[in-house]
Amino acid sequence: MIPRAPSTRVIQRALLPQYSRTPKNRRNLASVKSLGYNYETGETNGIKFASRDIPGPTTQLAVVARAGTRFQLYPGFAEGLEKFAFKSTSKRSSLRITREAELLGAELFAYHSRENLVIGAKFLREDLPYFTELLGEVISKTRFTRHELHEEVIRVIKLNQQSILANTDQMALNSAHSVAFHRGLGTALHPTSSVPITQYLHEQALKLFSQAAYAKPNFAVVANGASHDELSKWVGEFFNDSPATAPEQLPPIETKPSRYFGGEERIAHDGGNNMIIAFPGSGAYTGGHYKPEIAVLSSLLGGQSYIKWSPGYSLLARATAGQTQAHVSTRNLSYMDAGLLTISMEGRASHIREASASVVEILKAISTGDIAKDDIQKAIAKAKFRTLEAGQNIGTGLELTGAGLVQSGKPSQLDGIAEAIEGVTEDAVKKAAMSLLEGKATVSTVGDLFVLPFAEEIGLHV
């Protein structure tokens, strides 16, 4: 016999407060701090390290070095050093490293950002000693042979250069950084095909740069899913061969404070249309340049939808609902001592033109307080979620933590960031929007320049 569905009256009664039953011993939601997402730090033999002992059978271990494109001595050095990761060392060939990693069921990875070079591995928890030894060997005993440089490293870099030529989004982002910061953070993440990297990339020069990049004060070891005491033991044993200082014959790694300039650049391209409007943003939390109101403003502007089958609730999502062939998104790209708040538009040129005008109108509305308080509260909640989600993500957390240790000796702790975002007021968001409009913007445009607007046409100062 099929049971009858509950009547409407029964459902209504169940939803009333007097009928809801709440257990007396119900626990409150755990705080960020109590969830164990923060890192425990230490130092052994001059090497900084951090661990987060997340219960589970696997571990992720990485070396985070201050050797991204911002700090490279010559064009292509950051990418060249990345591509030499897990190549032949004085103890093992690259084939042996690959085969041993496969036998242990592990994954090896290497990538670089504008500030950091990250080399790491994912493996079963009991294999921590082997991979700690391997990473220590990679950063101190790589051979930097000529045949590997020309046959494997430069060849792959040139393939990447060809792919960038067709990537208008990457071109616009590199352009925005170059216009905003010039040198340092303005250096392209990957060298373009017009950069004469072969006159700079030599095996001996890369070897010297590696000794500077992997000098003890310039890198940190970070682990997720490892005991702090165990990590301390193996780091102290396998990282002793790292140099204490950079070679004297090398110029010092550039550490000048970043300076924001602003301006405009337009690049004709028939492979797509991209436009980036950018402003000075928020730096990293550990660098002393963190601005939580920028994180809230980024979520308030939005553009991209996080809810399936919905255009989203953000201001730009609603304002550009009519431009269906323009995809809009807002991000704050944070760095050690600076940040870049970017509003990216991609799609049909005529729709991007209309959407870009909406960006300026929305910023003006925020600066004058012509928005609902409910929008501010939703933006604070979204900013908090996005920040905590990024910190909880193992890959993102590794780089953020390592960079914080190298820069200031402390990792990026999630509870402090969450509290800062919760303390943002409506007035702080209004002042942030007003300061952006009053200052110089950065505008980078790639695509059909006949249709895509100039900065002054949409009311921006460059």
Res. 37 pLDDT band, cuts 50 70 90: low
Pseudo-torsion of CA 348, 353, 354, 356, nearest 10°? 110
What would the two tokens of residue 260 be?
Answer: 């924001």
- Residue 62 phi/psi, 5-degree rounding, is -150, 150
Higher pLDDT: 200 or 250? It is 200
Identify the pLDDT of residue 27.
41
The string of pLDDT tens digits covering residues 146-193 is 999 999 999 999 998 888 888 999 999 999 999 999 999 999 999 988
What would the two tokens of residue 415 be?
Answer: 């509870």
DSSP character at residue 114: S
Asked whether residue 29 carries a pLDDT value surpassing 60, the answer given is no
Residue 431 backbone zone (phi > 0: left; psi -120 to 50: alpha; other: beta): alpha
What would the mean pLDDT of 124-133 be, rounded to a whole number? Answer: 97
Asked whether residue 329 carries a pLDDT value surpassing 80, the answer given is yes
What would the mean pLDDT of 358-367 be, rounded to a whole number? Answer: 96
The position carrying tokens 């900084």 is 48
What would the mean pLDDT of 99-103 be, rounded to a whole number? Answer: 97
- Spell out the SS3 assignment of 241-283: CCCCCCCCCCCCCCCCCCCCCCEEEEEECCCCCEEEEEEECCC
Q: CB neighbours (10 Å) of residue 271?
A: 12
Asked whether residue 277 carries a pLDDT value surpassing 60, the answer given is yes
Asked whether residue 18 carries a pLDDT value surpassing 50, the answer given is no
The position carrying tokens 């780089």 is 399
- For the chain, what percent of residues have pLDDT higher than 90? 71
Asked whether residue 136 carries a pLDDT value surpassing 50, the answer given is yes
Cα 197 from chain centroid (whole Å)? 25
DSSP character at residue 151: I
Which residues are within 8 A (CB) of 408 and not within 5 positions of it... i.e. 6 or more apart?
286, 287, 288
Element (H, E) at 131: helix 128-141
Higher pLDDT: 448 or 418? It is 448
- For the chain, what percent of residues have pLDDT higher than 70? 91
Asked whether residue 284 carries a pLDDT value surpassing 90, the answer given is no
Four-residue CA torsion sign, 86, 89, 95, 101: negative
What would the two tokens of residue 49 be?
Answer: 């390290």
What would the mean pLDDT of 281-299 be, rounded to a whole number? Answer: 90
Instruction: Specify burial of residue 428 (Cβ count, 10 A radius: 0-12, 13-18, 19+).
Output: middle
Which residues are within 8 A (CB) of 317 and not within 5 positions of it... i.e. 6 or more apart?
302, 303, 304, 305, 311, 328
What would the mean pLDDT of 380-396 be, rounded to a whole number? Answer: 85
What would the two tokens of residue 168 be?
Answer: 């208008």
The string of pLDDT tens digits covering residues 52-83 is 998 899 999 999 999 999 999 899 999 999 99
What would the mean pLDDT of 263-292 be, rounded to a whole number? Answer: 93
Res. 28 pLDDT band, cuts 50 70 90: very low
Which residues are within 8 A (CB) of 415 and not within 5 positions of it... i.e. 6 or more apart?
31, 32, 33, 38
Q: If DSSP codes are grouped into helix, strand and coil, which group holds residue 41?
A: strand
> How far is Cα 72 from Cα 406, in angstroms, rounded to an integer?
16
Q: Using only C-alpha atoms, what is the Rg of the chain?
A: 25
